[in-house]
Amino acid sequence: SVPLSFFGGIGCASKNGVLVKGSNYLEALSHAQTVVMDKTGTLTEGKFHVTRQKAVEITPEEQLELAALAESASNHPIAQSLKEAYGKAIDTERVEDVQEIAGHGVSARVDGKQVLAGNAAYLEDAGLQPETPTEIGTAVHLAVNGVYAGYILIADTIKPDAAQAVQAFRQAGVSTVAMLTGDSESAAEAVGDTLQLDEVHAKCLPADKVQFMQAYRAKLAKGRTLVFVGDGMNDAPVLAQSDVGVAMGGLGSDAAIAAADLVILDDKPSKLGLAMHIAKKTMGIAR
Ligand code: ADP
Ligand code: MG
């Protein structure tokens, strides 16, 4: 039988905007040893702004338009941000044959031209040689009809409560706070340094994230647990590797919210710190 106080704990969490899908997750949370977090949309806002454009062979206006059109069918935070930066209504009749490759980017036919938009690895796989920007940020590289067309450098902001969240995890006894991201080393390290994370792994493909989770699991002490926190984009396989899978409710995909054990409705990572505190109190009462 489940002690009554568990319901008290779940109710308290829910009053604070954290949906807990079962008392077992509250118990698991109270024993967290390792918290693994996604970057984009989890520790950062997931709203990128353009910091610089390096257009090659085309004008910056054409470059941004092609990027926004190629990304028109995607709901990835990068795609949403490029559409916002473009700022004009998108005529979807101009876009055909859209393909999105998780952790890489998109390909589409725009006005009859073959457009690729994504990270350096994605363009390298297509036989192109993207330039490496010297500034910190996330470069969205473009190719038009097989010719490199430069990059759009975009930057995201760390959420105001992210540092407080990391501090709360440590107070709750978490010994490792790690970040896994598909983004560049420079963007990842900027966040890792600011938040003083224990470990940062950049340029992760979805399969790499699963492997890192398995490695973190192997390092758990007896009775301790592994928590993953993500925004939901492509996170379902990683959520499945955790004892407690947490999704950001506002930005997350419906699939991730369904797959998660805990949902943070207002996307504030510090709410997980609060949930840990509630979990510990609940366990104290339950025993
Ligand atoms: P994260 O781990 O930060 O959540 P993802 O795994 O979703 O990131 O994506 C990893 C990287 O793949 C992004 O930083 C970006 O370089 C590239 N990427 C993924 N989706 C897109 C897209 N729709 N447009 C452009 N680039 C993308
Ligand atoms: Mg993501």
pTM of the model: 0.90
CB 261 within 8 A of CB 27: no
13 CA to centre of ligand 2 in angstroms: 25
Q: Which residue puts its alpha carbon closest to atom 9 of ligand 1? A: 103
pLDDT at residue 1 in the model = 46
pLDDT at residue 146 in the model = 98
Q: Hey, do 4-45+158-286 and 49-155 end up sharing a CATH topology, with the first three levels equal?
A: no
Reply yes or no on whether 111 is catalytic: no
Q: Which of 38, 183, 235, 261 is the catalytic position?
A: 38
Establish whether residue 183 lines the binding site of ligand 1, counting it when its CB lies within 6 angstroms of any ligand atom. yes
In this prediction the ipTM stands at 0.97
Bridge partners for 50 per DSSP: 154
Average pLDDT for runs of 10 along the chain of length 287: 68 92 95 97 95 97 98 94 97 97 96 98 97 94 98 97 98 97 94 98 94 98 97 82 93 78 95 96 74
Q: What single-letter amino acid sits at 217?
A: R
CA-CA distance, 130 to 114, in Å (whole number)?
17
273 CA to centre of ligand 2 in angstroms: 21
**In this structure, is the dihedral angle defined by the CA atoms of residues 18, 24, 27 and 33, taken in order, positive or negative?**
negative
CB 94 within 8 A of CB 110: yes
Residues 6+ apart with CB under 8 A from 109: 95, 96, 97, 115
Hey, where are the domains in the chain? 4-45+158-286, 49-155
pLDDT at residue 3 in the model = 57
pLDDT at residue 284 in the model = 84
CB 206 within 8 A of CB 241: no
CATH of domain 4-45+158-286: 3.40.50.1000
pLDDT at residue 236 in the model = 82
CA-CA distance, 200 to 72, in Å (whole number)?
31
Q: Which of 150, 154, 134 is nearest to 142 (CA)?
A: 150
CA-CA distance, 109 to 115, in Å (whole number)?
6
pLDDT at residue 259 in the model = 86
CA-CA distance, 193 to 20, in Å (whole number)?
31
- Domain 49-155 fold is Calcium-transporting ATPase, cytoplasmic domain N (3.40.1110)
